[in-house]
């Protein structure tokens, strides 16, 4: 989903181009129509803790997004908004994640706490909480696997299935995913153990686990219901299993 940002600060623009390298359209490429546009208002360091709780609320068709380190507004009808923050990459990164969750919810998609990679033309998702092994499984990926992300997977509904896309949202690996996509073949819930094995999950457990790893910040009943529907639909179409693994490259012999 193309996003255009407007800023008068060339240094901030350079920082964004470096951070989102591979996901930025150059002046030599045909310009795609932006689906979202933001004006960036850079301010002095006057905000509080970036680890503060995120607030996402809607009033009269406009979304207000707030955290200790930023304030933002987004109008879905006009596809425009503004972000007020200091000159750092983390605030706009958070805003983009939040806005994408709002857009994807209405399209049957979602952002997921998971690593993801493409192998043999198929995308695999590896979900789990912090320390579950998302970065480890990404680091162990063989040369024929293409990393989409080690932290936040971007999943959209497509025809009778789902497609995973590369994202610039990084975790501990601090490596950008590739700007490519592939149909989702499986979702694995990660667990570290003494052996490598895959155990299929019943639909109820699969759905609960998927919901527990979804990113969604808005307290909006309509969108929450859409997210629940998307989770049930995903589980009905995509195999969900528990992947218990020893942290070495042999685990990838079970994948792909």
Residue 71: CB atoms within 10 A of its CB come to 19
Give pLDDT < 70 ranges for the chain. Answer: 26-32, 46-50, 173
H or E segment and range at residue 101:
helix 89-105
> Residues 161-195: pLDDT tens digits?
999 999 988 877 677 899 999 999 999 999 989 99
DSSP label of 33: P
Q: Which residues of 134-164 are buried (b: 16+ CB within 10 A; e: fewer)?
A: bbbbbbbbeeebbbbbbbbbbbbbeeeebbb
Q: How many residues make up the chain in this entry?
A: 256
What is the structure's pLDDT at 91?
A: 93
Q: What pLDDT score does 31 carry? A: 55
Phi, psi (deg, nearest 5) at residue 168: -90, 10
The fraction of the chain above a pLDDT of 70, given in percent, is 94
Query: Kind of pairing, strands 55-59 and 62-67?
Result: antiparallel
Determine the Cα–Cα distance for residues 125 and 240; give it in Å rounded to an integer.
9
What is 110-254's CATH topology?
A: Phosphoenolpyruvate Carboxykinase; domain 3 (3.90.228)
- The three-class DSSP label of residue 197 is strand
Determine contact, residues 134/115, Cβ cutoff 8 Å: yes
pLDDT of residue 186: 98
Task: Kindly report, as residue ranges, where domains of CATH 3.90.228.20 are found in the chain.
Answer: 110-254
| CA atoms of 59 and 77, how far apart (whole Å) | 13
Number of other CB atoms surrounding residue 21 within 10 Å? 11
Could you give the CA distance from residue 22 to residue 15 in angstroms, rounded to a whole number?
A: 13
Task: Give the containing element (helix H, strand E) for 67.
Answer: strand 62-67
Rounded to 5°, the CA angle 35-33-39 comes to 55
The torsion angle over the Cα atoms of residues 48, 53, 54 and 55, rounded to 10 degrees, is -100
The Cα 44–Cα 132 span in angstroms is 37
């Amino acid at each position: 989903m193309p996003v255009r940002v407007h800023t008068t600060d060339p240094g901030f623009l350079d920082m964004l181009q470096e951070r989102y390298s591979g996901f930025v359209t150059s002046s030599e490429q045909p310009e795609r129509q932006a689906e979202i546009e933001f004006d960036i208002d850079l301010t002095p360091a006057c905000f509080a803790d970036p680890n503060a709780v995120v607030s996402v609320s809607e009033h009269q068709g406009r979304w207000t997004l707030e955290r200790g380190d930023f304030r933002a507004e987004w109008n879905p009808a006009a596809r425009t908004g503004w972000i007020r923050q200091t000159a750092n990459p983390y605030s706009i990164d958070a805003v983009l994640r939040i806005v994408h969750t709002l857009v994807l919810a209405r399209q049957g998609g979602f952002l997921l706490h998971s690593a993801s990679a493409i192998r043999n033309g198929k995308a695999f998702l590896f979900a789990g909480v912090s320390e579950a092994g998302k970065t480890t499984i990404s680091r162990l990926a063989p040369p024929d696997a293409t990393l989409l992300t080690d932290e936040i997977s971007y999943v959209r509904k497509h025809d009778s299935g789902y497609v995973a896309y590369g994202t610039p949202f990084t975790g501990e690996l601090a490596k950008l995913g590739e700007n490519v996509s592939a149909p989702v073949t499986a979702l694995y819930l990660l667990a570290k153990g003494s052996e490598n094995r895959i155990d299929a999950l019943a639909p109820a457990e699969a759905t609960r686990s998927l919901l527990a790893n979804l990113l969604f910040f808005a307290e909006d009943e309509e969108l929450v219901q859409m997210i629940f529907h998307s989770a049930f639909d995903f589980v009905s179409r995509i195999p969900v299993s528990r992947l218990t693994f020893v942290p070495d490259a042999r685990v990838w012999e079970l994948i792909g």
